[in-house]
Structure 1
Amino acid sequence: MGIGEVAALLGVGMAAGVINVVVGSGTLVTFPTLLAFGYTPVVANVTNTVGLVSGSLSGIHGYRAEINEFRTARRGRLLRLILASLLGAITGALLLLVLPAKAFKAIVPALIALALVLIVAQPRLSKRIAARRAAAAEAAGESAAPRDGAWGVLAAVYGSGVYGGYFGAAQGVLLMAILGLTFSDGLQILNGVKNVLACVVNAIAAVVFITVGALNLGGDEHPSVRWGAALAIAIGALIGGQIGARVGRRLPPKVLKALIITVGLAAIISMLA
């Protein structure tokens, strides 16, 4: 690795760290950069995944107050969401090893578009869902507390984990759509939870990729990590994660939502280009 490549990867790693914590689509910055330096798509993908784990951890530290508030108010929910993400990440990482890249990437733009539609429609849908819950609870003579640990929510989080374990771009957009339609907590709190789940997915996928690479599976195309590039991205992402947490926590909900939508549209355009 030359000095120019190291500097570039440090820079895009920092940018990705900020984007992932605030919105979630930093892969769209680092992945193309790795391709531009001559890494094959599979190697670039696994190297990028390993490198961005540090940024996710940094973001969790920055959002620790919001995460703790969610955990305290909803005991057991966060653990179930983490477990669903963990299982999804393992599934997605294994799919990367056995399926052609085009098979899954073909539906990625559609998934992101669906997430953006859900985010835009979230306020109206949330009101309708809350009204139906209240009506059903009143009819049954029970509390109107939302069943936010239902299997449907866990299945959706598992699905986002599969997607994140396979490629990961705009995983945060999908998670914010799912969490926003499910929980009544503020957007900043949900952004903190999103960072936890995205970190779990990245970390588990990274472990799978490192293990498979160490075992030298898959012949010449086995997804071995390029550690020099991963380290450069990791250092940048670690710094960017702290910056992103400070910036993101100060953004008004409307601005944060606008950023989510903007990055999601950019992701679709990038993948269709």
Structure 2
Amino acid sequence: MTLVEALLIVLAGCAAGTINTIVGSGTLITFPTLLLLGIPPLNANISNSVGLVAGGITGTYGYRRELVGAKPDLRALMPMTFVGAIAGALLLLVLPSSAFRAIVPVLVALGILLVAFGPALSRWTERHRGQPAGTRMGPLVRLGVLAAGAYGGYFGAAQGVIIVGLLNTLTSLPLQRSNAYKNVLGTVANLVAALVFVVAAPQHVDWAVAGLIAVGALAGGWVGSTVGRRLPPTVLRAVIVLIGLVAIVKLIWFP
């Protein structure tokens, strides 16, 4: 690995940590970057999951004020994320790498659509919900968080967008509080998946890559929870969509 490549991975990790904290979907920055540097998709996905744990920790800490009084909700939701992430990570390891190569362009496209149209979908559901949503974490919310955890354990791009959209649709939590919950749950999913990968498939963990992403993401999580809140969401979404499209082109036409 050259110095330029290492610097590029750190910068991608920083951008992903920032975006994960603010919006979610930072994997749509790091994963395509690793692919463009020639890292195999499975190794890139697993190393990325390991590295981004650091950004989740600083991002969650940065949103600590929004988490005051959140223990009852998180006690209900974190076990669902835990179980889902284990299932998703094991599914990634059990299925052949060819299956991952085939499904990743679809997952990236799904992530792009959620990033691009997530706010519009949230506004639509708010208008058509009919009744105000409660703040309790009912069965539908828990089931949705379980599914999001499985998605996060398997791939993770736009997992945060899914969680925020879910909470915005099925609860009446304020947006910033939903975002704080997203940071906690996304970090749990990444950490659980990373532990599964390290124990069950250490040969797929590129520790140099994971370490460089972690360095960048650690700083990015702090930036996202402070300065990053002031960045225009439309600019962030445009960058994510552009890089995601590049990743799809790379995966389909230049595997």
Q: Please, what TM-score do these two structures have when normalized by structure 2?
A: 0.85
Tell me, which stretches of 5 or more residues in structure 1 are unaligned?
A: 134-144, 215-221
Indicate if the aligned counterparts of 1:53 and 1:203 stay in contact, CA closer than 8 A: yes
User: How far, CA to CA, are the matches of 1:184 and 1:267 in structure 2?
Assistant: 32
Tell me what 1:132 maps to.
131
Match of 2:216 among 221, 236, 241: 236
Q: CA deviation at 1:262?
A: 4.2
Indicate if the aligned counterparts of 1:88 and 1:161 stay in contact, CA closer than 8 A: yes
Aligned ranges 1:182-201 → 2 under 5 Å: 182-201=170-189
Indicate the larger mover: 28-37 or 45-54. 28-37
User: How far, CA to CA, are the matches of 2:115 and 2:223 in structure 1?
Assistant: 25
Cα distance change, pair 235–23 in 1 and its aligned pair in 2 (3 A): same
Tell me what 1:105 maps to.
104
User: How far, CA to CA, are the matches of 2:79 and 2:242 in structure 1?
Assistant: 30
User: How far, CA to CA, are the matches of 1:92 and 1:112 in structure 2?
Assistant: 20
Which residue type is aligned with residue 269 of structure 1?
L
Cα distance change, pair 12–124 in 1 and its aligned pair in 2 (3 A): closer
Which residue type is aligned with residue 104 of structure 2?
K
Cα distance change, pair 244–111 in 1 and its aligned pair in 2 (3 A): closer
Which residue type is aligned with residue 68 of structure 1?
V
Cα distance change, pair 32–268 in 1 and its aligned pair in 2 (3 A): closer
User: How far, CA to CA, are the matches of 1:114 and 1:235 in structure 2?
Assistant: 27
Query: Could you give the per-residue CA deviations for residues 136-175 of structure 1, whole angstroms, max 9, x where no partner exists?
Result: xxxxxxxxx8263221111111111111111111111111
Query: Could you give the per-residue CA deviations for residues 105-159 of structure 1, whole angstroms, max 9, x where no partner exists?
Result: 3542346536755531323423543x436xxxxxxxxxxx826322111111111
Tell me what 1:36 maps to.
36
Aligned ranges 1:79-94 → 2 under 5 Å: 79-94=75-90
Tell me, which stretches of 5 or more residues in structure 2 are unaligned?
A: 250-255
Q: Which consecutive segments of 4 or more residues in structure 1 shift more than 6 A?
A: none
User: How far, CA to CA, are the matches of 2:76 and 2:185 in structure 1?
Assistant: 11
Tell me what 1:139 maps to.
none
The alignment yields a C-alpha RMSD, in angstroms, of 2.5
User: How far, CA to CA, are the matches of 1:6 and 1:263 in structure 2?
Assistant: 21
Which residue type is aligned with residue 98 of structure 1?
V
User: How far, CA to CA, are the matches of 1:265 and 1:34 in structure 2?
Assistant: 17
Q: CA deviation at 1:5?
A: 2.5
Tell me what 1:247 maps to.
227
Cα distance change, pair 186–192 in 1 and its aligned pair in 2 (3 A): same
User: How far, CA to CA, are the matches of 2:33 and 2:247 in structure 1?
Assistant: 14
Tell me what 2:159 maps to.
171
Q: Please, what TM-score do these two structures have when normalized by structure 1?
A: 0.79
Structure possessing the higher radius of gyration over alpha carbons? 1
Aligned residues: 245
Which residue type is aligned with residue 24 of structure 1?
G
> Does residue 95 of the first structure (1) align with residue 91 of the second (2)?
yes
Q: CA deviation at 1:62?
A: 0.4
Tell me what 1:269 maps to.
245
Indicate if the aligned counterparts of 1:92 and 1:161 stay in contact, CA closer than 8 A: yes
Tell me what 2:142 maps to.
154
Tell me what 1:47 maps to.
47
Cα distance change, pair 270–182 in 1 and its aligned pair in 2 (3 A): farther
